[in-house]
Amino acid sequence: MAELAVLSASVKAIVHGPLDKVISLVNKEFSLIYGFKKDLEKLRGSLVMIQAFLRDAERRPVGEEAVKLWLQKLEGVAYDADDVLDEMNYKILQHKVKLQKKVESKEAYEFGHQFHIRDVDAYSAAGAVFSHSIARSRETDSVSVDPNVLGRDNDKSDLVKTLMRSRDEVVSVIPIVGMGGLGKTTLARLIYNDERIKNYFDARIWVCVSENFDVTKLFAMMLESLTQSHVEVQGREAIVKNLQKAIGVGRYLLILDDVWNDKADKWGDFKRSMEGINTTKGNSIVVTTRSEQVASIVATLPQHFLRKLSEEDCLSILKARAFPGGEAPRELDTIGKKIAAKCQGLPLAANLVGGILRNKGKSEWMLILNEGLSQVNGDENGSSILQILKLSFDHLPTPAAKKCFAYWSIFNKDFNLKKEQVVQLWMAEGFLYSNQGSDVMEKTGIKIFHLLLQNC
């Protein structure tokens, strides 16, 4: 479902590229186009039809499986069209050079039949699936500042007291459990940076685990967290020995953020090594997870279930995000309460909607409430947050920004890239096209990067 929530908007962004190219080609007036200009016109019609299909898809429920299949098919058609048009542009340039050297026109005619324009048929691709339908997160760290944290004081206080309580176990494990968007990572970060925790534990370690629970890799990440240097050695034994030296004999706190592993044998292997690395009593591990099954496997202490925020807290977050450094107009109070109720007690949702409404007036707030959030309901399966995530995507200001955002889907979860690399990749893909040169494109890319960062 998370994939489908942005798939429609992603394909919509992809289509802009080939559509611009085919319009440019149709409008070019030279003999090379003769003989297949009608095919280009048909291709343009197909791409325009894809856009119409996508507008229709955006009105369908994000969890519908048939819509997912439909959009995936259209995505393939859009990429096929882009490939054909890139090849065509290249061949046009090549043959223009040959024509300047007085190559016979027969070769120009044959050129028109080298391409597979007729294979790019959006009508049949979209129509076939349409007739059938009649369908995880970023890497975290311990130092990020979490703005507008509300409603978590009691959770933090309870967990800090639990972690500082004397016990006979060498390693105690307490899971923080809750659905996506509740603020599990934020709470773990608050605990990690609490002064009482800093004074109580001799070492603190933060690791974002995500879906790949590779025990040796986890030990290497822990060692990097402690030493602030890249781990060169690859063998588990060497890594564990170095980790043992880095931790020492004092108490440690380990945060394992975003754990998905539900294999008890893998967890047992990891925990037994941790008990041998440091045998001092009173070490603690905090695990954040969405899965109660995962929590039941790792827990040695009672699980901490994170509750939803009150509507009042959601409203406060929404206002703080929408009007940073200022007071929200009173005329927005009633609308704001209704929008806050749609956030379903999820701080992530409140932050996202607040970002969309940043410095907007009453009419924009009403539009988001009555149209953007109209299908959001109080379920527990995560579709509410997906609707809001899609709403945030839809309100990115330009097609270029949507393309740049959608581009991230090709990378694995938790993949690291520097800002400069990201902008260069966007430029190479043609997302930042400008006839004013690479400097302007780079500046545009940096603006989009910070815009996307602001909307996170």
Which residue matches tokens 């007085």?
102
Task: Give buried/exposed letters for 87-106 (b at 16+ CB in 10 A, else e).
Answer: ebeeebeebeeebeeeeeee
User: How far, in Å, CA of 377 to CA of 380, rounded?
Assistant: 9
pLDDT digits (tens, 9 = 90+) for 357-398: 888 888 888 988 887 777 676 555 556 667 777 777 777 778
Task: Give buried/exposed letters for 336-371 (b at 16+ CB in 10 A, else e).
Answer: beebbbbbbbbbbbbbbbbbbbeeeeeebbeebbee
For 204-246, the DSSP string reads EEEEEEET---HHHHHHHHHHHHHSS------HHHHHHHHHHH
User: How far, in Å, CA of 29 to CA of 40, rounded?
Assistant: 13
Q: How far is CA 58 from CA 12, 54, 242, 372, in A?
A: 10, 6, 53, 11
430 burial class (0-12, 13-18, 19+ CB within 10 angstroms)? middle
**Residue type, position 227, single letter:** T
Helix (H) or strand (E) holding 175: strand 171-177
Structure tokens at 453: 């960062």
Q: At what angle do helices 311-322 and 347-356 cross, to 10 degrees?
A: 30
Which of 261, 264, 270 shows the shortest CA–CA distance to 291? 261
Q: Specify the pLDDT at position 407.
A: 80
Does residue 251 come out as left (phi exceeding 0), alpha (psi in the -120 to 50 range) or beta?
A: beta
3-state SS string for 251-294: CEEEEEEEECCCCHHHHHHHHHHHHHHCCCCCEEEEEEECCHHH
Q: Specify the pLDDT at position 143.
A: 75
Beta strand 203-210 with 252-259 is parallel
Cα dihedral value 211, 212, 213, 217, nearest 10: -140
The pLDDT tens digits along the chain (456 residues) read 445 445 555 555 555 555 555 555 555 544 344 455 566 566 666 666 666 666 555 555 555 566 566 666 666 666 666 666 666 666 666 665 665 555 444 444 444 444 444 444 444 444 443 343 333 445 788 877 776 788 899 999 999 999 998 788 999 999 999 988 889 999 999 999 999 999 999 999 999 998 889 999 999 999 999 998 888 877 999 999 999 999 999 999 999 999 999 999 999 999 999 999 999 999 999 999 999 999 999 999 999 999 999 999 999 999 988 888 778 888 888 999 999 998 888 888 888 888 888 888 888 889 888 877 776 765 555 566 677 777 777 777 787 888 888 887 777 766 777 888 888 888 887 888 666 667 888 888 898 888 887 666
pLDDT digits (tens, 9 = 90+) for 89-99: 666 666 656 65
User: How far, in Å, CA of 353 to CA of 368, rounded?
Assistant: 9
